[in-house]
Amino acid sequence: MNTAIEILQKYWNHTSFRPLQDEIINAVLSNKDTISLLPTGGGKSICFQVPALLKDGICIVISPLIALMQDQVESLKEKGIKATVIASGSSQNDIITLFDNLKYGNYKFLYISPERLQSPFIQQKIKELSVNLIAVDEAHCISEWGHDFRPSYRNISVLKELIPSVPFIALTATATKIVIEDIATNLALKQPAIFKKSFSRTNLAYRIITTEDKLQYLKKILINKKTPAIVYINSRKKTEEIARFLNANGFLCGFYHGGLSKQEKNQSFKNWMSEKTPIMIATNAFGMGIDKDNVSKVIHLNLPSSIENYIQEAGRAGRNDENAVSYILQNENDIFLFKEQIENSLPNIPEIKEVHKKLYQHFNIANGEIFESSFLFNYVDFCKKYNFTPYKVDAILKILNNNGILEISYNFNKKSSVQFIANSKKVIHFGNTKTKELIRVLLRSYAGLFEQEKHIDEYLLSKKIGQTTSFIIKTLHQLEKEEILTYKRASNDAEITFLIPREDDKTINRISKNIEKYIHQKRKKAGDLIRFIQNDTICRNVQILSYFDEKKPQKCGICDVCLDDVKNNSVQLSTEILSQFKKGTFYSSQEISTLLRANEKEILIHLRALLASEVLSINKQNKFYKK
């Protein structure tokens, strides 16, 4: 039988575990319920993946994000490990087939959202499986005190009733003491083994800089040390604009946001990992799967949404234990806009009821009706149709998703398709040089285009002929207009699956208490962040560690607050040194340090500074005196 370290070497090519991983894995292998609190980059997934591979049966992984589940499933498949996910929009027949594969196909991992877990049909199917472990990822979502409370997480404990002998492992990167207690209680964990790694990062300096000219300050930060960096900003459009600005100023930048195609995201990520473009300008969509240890700077050009999110994002710097810095560039206007955005994005109950009702109307779903199939959802068109504020609709969709009313996937992306409808002679000789080149590459890349529709990839075509993706799309639309081909472009719409029958206000009334708690927590977390930003008297590290209930936190000595203290203390020490010099007195550095009960090396630094400014002089016996 393999050991944990052999599994680690076989699939991850590592020869040793990170701190606490070994202890957590041993607890899970001993069939203990376990809570694992490891900061970003601590290797949480390995803590359940390794023991699951050592045990007979299937590990069920509950995760809140479809994209995150898909990413982990793909990562496992690349390692030769059989894993699957219940995809958004899966019909009952699809699910029956999937569970048959799980039972008979030697699968090791099933990823599922907490909303899907509410289905009695899926619960029954899980009972039929041989399950070895339940892993609850992002477990802080179970607590109303967490930064991303998700009521559907409260129903995960049903698995304790369905398969009571199977151990649980709950994993999170950020949780306070009260959140950890909530996790244990709501998952019905039996005397859980709790593993918590300190949030203290002695090599990471937290620095909050007040500046009115962020772009100039950004250039100043990036020019000092040409190592990989991440610049976070809250606008998709701005990521591209700032990348262009920095590239024009001699920096090598890429950009990343949720609106890019999968291929564009992969290429941007690849360029950053290889350091072809060592600076990444990104929204917080740039987070999954980042495991680059030599990032020296993480810079926020906008305020993060909470202290928890800030720690996760800042924590992507300095994983190689080299000195690293996290900057937040801010000013009074940022605080004002942050408060305004929080209020504008937090809906009230009547607004939620209205958007919820209009969603059903939009798709012509009658009262009491439910559809197994999913619907394509164009977010912009919906807002325009009913004159809704985009911020509010986005927040409401998240609330409805988190409460198990519907499931929304923003990663829906079918492939485009093309078929030539003109005869081959006309096709081959049609258009100008660039158009002919595109037609030639299409015919060479996809066989049978005259006989039937074929899936194509505009991004790969653009690379093959050295043009932009937008040129490919525009030319294909033009060829369709000229009746050379038919072109069905892939939809970038979201996909919505309604999980319960339509009941309008009754549905919202049932979850109104959850909604009120969610809104309260959002406001509280925003207030906590603002207080952290504005508190320039207490060490940033002390503030962060205190927030996460760590006892007797120590000053870091490297944050903006500590550096200001050193600067102020330096002025004070110089004044105290000068006060010792009366007319005709001469002192060595050692004598001054004895008089002031201070470190001689520090005293000598100040004496040299006073010499340089010609406030003091020195005689042949290396004794200082006042001019």
Identify the pLDDT of residue 1. 55
Report d(CA 230, CA 345) in Å as an integer. Answer: 26
Residues 241-252 have a mean pLDDT of 94
Q: d(Cα 151, Cα 144) in Å, to the nearest integer?
A: 8
CATH class of segment(s) 4-196: alpha beta
How does pLDDT run across 495-514, given as a tens digit for each residue? 888 888 999 999 999 999 88
Helix, coil or strand: residue 569: helix
| Per-residue pLDDT reduced to its tens digit, 322-355 | 889 999 999 999 999 999 988 888 899 999 999 9
> Beta-carbon neighbour count of residue 343 at 10 Å?
12
Two structure tokens written together for 139: 């477990």
Q: Which CATH number fits domain 560-626: 3.30.70.3270, 3.30.230.10, 1.10.10.10, 3.40.190.10?
A: 1.10.10.10
Superfamily of domain 204-330: P-loop containing nucleotide triphosphate hydrolases (3.40.50.300)
Same CATH fold assignment for domains 4-196 and 339-412+493-525: no
Predicted pLDDT of residue 48: 95
Higher confidence at residue 280 or residue 394? 280
Does an H or E element contain 330, and which? strand 324-330
Query: Domain residues of the chain, as ranges?
Result: 4-196, 204-330, 339-412+493-525, 416-488, 560-626
The per-residue DSSP string of 205-247 comes to EEEEEE-S-HHHHHHHHHHH--S-EEEE-S-HHHHHHHHHHHH
Q: Is the pLDDT of residue 255 over 90?
A: yes
pLDDT at 374: 79
146-156 residue pLDDT tens: 667 777 788 89
Residue 463 banded pLDDT, cuts 50, 70, 90: confident
**CATH architecture of the domain formed by 339-412+493-525:** Orthogonal Bundle (1.10)
> What average pLDDT does this structure show over 363-390?
85
The structure's pTM equals 0.70
How much of the chain, in percent, has pLDDT values that exceed 90? 40
Is the per-residue pLDDT at 86 higher than 60?
yes
Mean of pLDDT over the chain? 87
At 310 the pLDDT is 94
* Between 209 and 120, the higher pLDDT residue: 209
Numbers of helices and strands, H then E, in the chain: 26, 21
Average pLDDT over residues 287-302: 86
CA–CA separation, 605 and 574 (whole Å): 10
- In this prediction, residue 517 carries a pLDDT of 84
| Fold (topology level) of 416-488 | Arc Repressor Mutant, subunit A (1.10.10)
